[in-house]
Structure 1
Amino acid sequence: MYLEKIDSPADVKRLSVGELTELSDEIREALLHKVSAHGGHFGPNLGMVEATVALHYVFDSPKDKLVFDVSHQSYVHKMLTGRRRAFIDPAEYDAVSGYSEPTESAHDHFVIGHTSTSVSLASGLAKARDLQGGEGNVVAIIGDGSLSGGEAFEGLDYAAELGTNFIVVVNDNQMSIAENHGGLYRNLQELRESRGNCACNFFRAMGFDYRYVADGNDVEALIGVFSAVKDVAHPVVVHINTLKGKGYARAEQDKETYHWRLPFDLTTGEPAAPAGTEGYDALTARYLLERMKEDPRVVAITSGTPAVMGFTPERRREAGSQFVDVGIAEEHAVALASGIAKGGGKPVYGVYSTFIQRAYDQLSQDLCINGNPAVLLVFWGSLTAMNDATHLCFFDIPLLGNIPNLVYLAPTCREEYFAMLDWSMRQTEHPVAIRVPAVEVASREGFVAPDYGELNRYEVVRRGREVAVVALGAFFGLGEEVVKLLKERTGIEATLVNPRYITGVDGALLTDLKAGHRLVVTLEDGVLDGGFGEKIARFYGTSEMKVLNCGARKEFADRFDPGEFLRENRLTAGQIVEDIVAVID
């Protein structure tokens, strides 16, 4: 066993090429067992085994700085830089982050989890090195899917003029999360087919020297090209053709499914836990497909994550040209949606909460200033949806909830979600975002849709006294628990309010609550700072009404247990009732 003896890159350098090939096989086997048992990014890491081994064989990390884009393909890098036990010992599986993490090792230089960032970050390291007269190579490792992101273009445009050592390794596996989209990928195909020799070369056009490796899973070939560019005094791109999912047949054949997986059976490929009932993603896809058949103006947009709203390959084929994947380009997706809406189309852009923040300027400038009636579906906005520091879904309420002209809605159930979606696609006055519940699909018996065009009108679900609980969106169920428990413990029949609108305050209702109530409690599934509850507190600021805002503290929490996180933020029904009693006593 070679892997068990690797404690640092120095141990990699002692091996022969044949031994490095055996080490790569051992690494791939360890990845198969860990990720199938634990979950994580599967295909990206399997495809980068040999390249990472070769990088550490040739370069001298951490003096030579390796910066991984997204860093979801950095598992092998971690195994070779003193963290192998987290990949071979089940008891240690949770000891390291799934992404680059400087607190773990001097070989990691940034906390990285979003895409298209490595070239910009690495070019900053190169500039800092040169300003101080330093030495060492700077290497940015970026996948072909990440090249579609605007920051990647900006970084390449800048780095080509550095005039100094700067190496970009382009890992071309012909895939993003799903298939690649965009004109750039035609040129990558031409480069692969010509073995890097076609006249049209995107990287040379940008000002880079260029090298191509036809078999990016051949350790010896990779060592040769990396050795040739090490210490080079100008910017160079090394374009390597790799196989995503290499070494596991199912992942090689179904690259989209095996990009990231929850625990599964290696033999059968079946999930370890049985699939639950149909979620909001699949329900949304089925709804939009029906709307597409009725109206050719309807178009669904994704930025490299078609599964966010249930568009499987089969559903994408069914939608045809009414489904658009812009690649990993959230900024373009928002501006495109604005343009489509301006032109009379009906765009619906589905995006994960953690990624919508990448398009803040386009939301504000390209969409909301213009008031174009595009629809944004924000998925997984919740304190308990994702728990990596780089992928938190805590912050969409402060981000979107404070942009002028935007209507941000928070449905509480299936019926309300589709009523809001119906309205948002019919109306022509506002850009509308909907915070799709990040919980199991729930129904509300007797639900009747209001006129959502009468903005900022909250729903009083249950009229009570003394305490009013304003429970936003997915926390409406928590609000029901709080009201029930409060009655059991104190006898108080609280008022329960479904606010519906994140972006506005129902002044008439809040004024009405002053009669017969001493306390208003807000519940939101996000951070408190800049959030929904603060709007309510500000409304009551000069009055005698007390306000208790319940949500999470502002922080980059990392790899937390969701239940414990809620308890730490006093977001269980019992804790909230305790806090209510403490305020009103």
Structure 2
Amino acid sequence: MNDTPLDSIESPADLRALPADALPGVAQALRDEIVQFVSRSGGHLASSLGAVDLLVALHYVFDTPRDRLVLDVGHQAYAHKLLTGRRADFARIGKEGGPAKFLRRAESRYDDFGAGHAGTSISAALGMARGLQAAGEDAFAVAMIGDGSLTAGMALEALNHAGHLKQPNLLVVLNDNEMSIEPNVGALGAFLSRKLSAPSARRLRRLAKDVLAPLPQPLQQLARRAERSAKALLTPATLFEAFGFRYIGPVSGHDLPSLLATLKNARAMMAGGEGPVLVHAITRKGAGYAPAEANPLKYHGVTAFDAATGDMPKPAATVPSYTSVFADAAVQLARTDSRIVAITAAMAGGTGLDRFADALPQRFYDVGIAEQHAVTFAAGLATTGLKPVAAIYSTFLQRGFDQVVHDVCLQNLDVTFALDRAGLVGADGATHQGLFDLAYLRCLPNMVLMAPKDENELRHMLRTAIEHPGPAAMRYPRGNGLGVALDADIRALEIGRGELLRDGGDLAIVALGSRVAPALEAASQLAREGVGAAVFNARFVKPLDLPAIAELATRCGALVTVEEHALAGGFGSAVLEALAGQGILVPTRLLAVPDELVEHGDPAAQLARFGLDAAGIAAAGRALLAGRRRAGPAPVGGLYRAAAS
């Protein structure tokens, strides 16, 4: 784009070379470009627009990258990316080879810490502040965190630790969009923010300390109580100062002169050894773009839309998503069983449970960004005879792993986990890929673990998991289902029993979840070449349908397993372990995601690259059979080496 104030900004150093009165123009140009770029390619809009002024002010006041800037999650980071040398490539955000939607240390020296999961910024910034201090560097570490992220337990743990350390070079900027902590108090709050952080106020505070020092302890305590009471009346300082922070705020997050003055004063306070400091900024999601301001939830994560009007294209009639099928099934089952309750961790819309909340509000719980609490809360509910269904993205349940082990599985409690976004997720990239859940769940005693081949089977699996009297987890992918007909009744499946979808005598393809459909397509390709490939829908990872899989492997003499999951510890590994335990050793090819971090890109292209589409499965079958023919028949008791792709 041409003729904007951004044309001269290649780095924050260029921003700092501008006069302060040029910054509102820079902020407006950033907003314009974010709207234009996101309207074409999709992405995170409302959160990024709300954080523009804060990011301009932070990069202007602090000497980034010498001073460290850590942004929580990354939803709010688009202005940061545009100011730090990624503007020319921004149109490809979230696409393979383009910038990531979230922060990545490998992408830019200005991305001090990668983050796709909320609540990590204060811990990371505290570690940086401590490291800088230990190295004798007079630099600062800044964590910018949204108010919603403060529900993450580790954010509070980090605040507590920072206060305990009295970390002088740490600044926390609370980006409060008025949705959970404090309402905007207007000009008075901004005035108090500037005054409380100004040098004269700090001198007065030091003078007060000197005056109070000779007084008897009772009078000193009375004076301190009076100060605390005054602050509690005028600001929300009490909470954060209890953690050991110097609190400044609230200040308008869209008033650049006030922001600059407040941040400069905060920096001076830290330089004077008065840290850690917390600046509380009130912002509006979607600020500067009317449609996003009016409906920030709708414009949080968007596909392409009309930038001039904000109109989003109406989706064409299509098959329902796995998420919506899960949500409707949960409501249907809950209407007939009053014990069923639903839990989400700040992802009611993403998991589809907003539908459950509308239908059965008294039986729905959103615990905030607190996956650990969500799991143990569910465990507590289960002890009373309720049947909690915790819908949590695969990548987010990783955060509650200890609770799944200690609080659910060890006590064999009746909790159902619905793992949305299992598998490859596209533009959200490495932080959100659901590629590890089979490995971290199948090792747990008492856990039942399953994956549906389509949206109809998902409904039956949900009932199966709910009716099972112990822990059960069901994983399913992002996106639309296959368009299959939905049975009128939702029935429970027999646990540990798969289904043979196609028979054949040359090759056994044992597929899980989303890979069943391409396995069937691959078998059809092979059939045209004269190869009889059996296709088995495993359904269950734990317990495996070992009798059926063992019979197929023995009869066909060649086996391919297919899963949309990491190879290490996944479904194929479970099959090999089980067969080896029975002394059944046949030529085997494991098709799964290799041992690498998968970045953002087109999921279909990534599946093809890993050999997990129909063409790849068929090719693996051909190669396996060709290798078996070259090797000749195995001697009795002989061992064929298992090959992993």
TM-score normalised over the length of structure 2? 0.83
Q: Note the 1:286-365 alignment, pairs <5 A.
A: 286-312=328-354, 316-365=357-406
SS in 1 for 2:89: helix
Q: CA deviation at 1:262?
A: 1.3
Q: Where does residue 166 of structure 1 map in the other structure?
A: 170
Distance 1:80 1:465, change over 3 A: same
SS in 2 for 1:502: strand
Is 1:24 matched with 2:27? yes
SS in 1 for 2:360: helix
Distance 1:62 1:289, change over 3 A: same
SS in 2 for 1:516: helix
Distance in 2 (CA, whole Å) between partners of 1:362 and 1:306 is 21
Q: Where does residue 323 of structure 2 map in the other structure?
A: 281
Q: Where does residue 473 of structure 1 map in the other structure?
A: 513
Q: Is the 8 A contact 1:486 1:493 kept in 2?
A: yes
Is 1:215 matched with 2:255? no
Q: Is the 8 A contact 1:86 1:93 kept in 2?
A: no
Bigger drift between 152-161 and 507-516 goes to: 507-516
Q: Where does residue 553 of structure 1 map in the other structure?
A: 594
Q: Is the 8 A contact 2:550 2:584 kept in 1?
A: no
Q: Is the 8 A contact 1:192 1:241 kept in 2?
A: no
Distance in 2 (CA, whole Å) between partners of 1:11 and 1:510 is 63
Q: Is the 8 A contact 1:229 1:236 kept in 2?
A: yes
Q: CA deviation at 1:367?
A: 1.0
Map Cα deviations across residues 519-547 of structure 1 (whole Å, 9 max, x no partner). Answer: 11111011111100011122333434221
Q: CA deviation at 1:475?
A: 0.8
Q: Where does residue 539 of structure 1 map in the other structure?
A: 578
Is 1:37 matched with 2:77? no
Q: Note the 1:305-454 alignment, pairs <5 A.
A: 305-312=347-354, 316-385=357-426, 387-428=428-469, 430-442=470-482, 452=493, 454=494
Distance in 2 (CA, whole Å) between partners of 1:208 and 1:424 is 46
Bigger drift between 95-104 and 252-261 goes to: 95-104
Q: Is the 8 A contact 2:508 2:556 kept in 1?
A: yes
Distance in 2 (CA, whole Å) between partners of 1:41 and 1:376 is 27
Distance in 2 (CA, whole Å) between partners of 1:92 and 1:583 is 34
Map Cα deviations across residues 112-143 of structure 1 (whole Å, 9 max, x no partner). Answer: 21110000001100111122222111111100
Q: Is the 8 A contact 1:386 1:392 kept in 2?
A: no
Structure 1 counterpart of 2:562, one-letter code: L
Distance in 2 (CA, whole Å) between partners of 1:434 and 1:30 is 41
Q: Percent identity?
A: 34
Q: Note the 1:116-195 alignment, pairs <5 A.
A: 116-163=119-166, 164-175=168-179, 180=180, 185=181, 188-189=182-183, 195=189
Q: CA deviation at 1:444?
A: 5.8
Q: CA deviation at 1:321?
A: 2.0
Distance 1:194 1:581, change over 3 A: same
Q: Is the 8 A contact 2:382 2:413 kept in 1?
A: yes
Structure 2 counterpart of 1:522, one-letter code: T
SS in 1 for 2:133: helix
Q: Is the 8 A contact 1:469 1:479 kept in 2?
A: yes
Is 1:203 matched with 2:240? yes
Q: CA deviation at 1:194?
A: 8.6
The number of equivalent residue pairs is 571
Structure 2 counterpart of 1:501, one-letter code: F
Distance 1:318 1:561, change over 3 A: closer
Q: Where does residue 258 of structure 1 map in the other structure?
A: 299
Given candidates 283, 295, 304, the residue that maps to 1:242 is: 283
Q: CA deviation at 1:19?
A: 1.3
Indicate the structure (1 or 2) with the bigger Cα radius of gyration. Answer: 2
Gap runs ≥5 in structure 2? 194-230, 627-645
Bigger drift between 233-242 and 17-26 goes to: 17-26
Map Cα deviations across residues 396-432 of structure 1 (whole Å, 9 max, x no partner). Answer: 221222222111111112332111212222332x111
Distance 1:36 1:160, change over 3 A: same
Distance in 2 (CA, whole Å) between partners of 1:316 and 1:528 is 37
Structure 1 counterpart of 2:338, one-letter code: P
Distance in 2 (CA, whole Å) between partners of 1:81 and 1:494 is 53
Gap runs ≥5 in structure 1? none
Structure 1 counterpart of 2:618, one-letter code: V
Structure 2 counterpart of 1:33, one-letter code: Q
Is 1:226 matched with 2:263? yes
Q: CA deviation at 1:287?
A: 2.7
Q: Where does residue 15 of structure 1 map in the other structure?
A: 18
Q: Where does residue 70 of structure 2 map in the other structure?
A: 67
Distance 1:445 1:26, change over 3 A: closer
SS in 2 for 1:160: helix
Distance in 2 (CA, whole Å) between partners of 1:44 and 1:99 is 12
Distance 1:11 1:437, change over 3 A: closer
Q: Is the 8 A contact 2:61 2:260 kept in 1?
A: yes
Distance in 2 (CA, whole Å) between partners of 1:505 and 1:65 is 49
Structure 1 counterpart of 2:507, one-letter code: V
Distance 1:102 1:442, change over 3 A: closer
Structure 1 counterpart of 2:523, one-letter code: V
Q: Is the 8 A contact 1:385 1:393 kept in 2?
A: no
SS in 2 for 1:417: helix
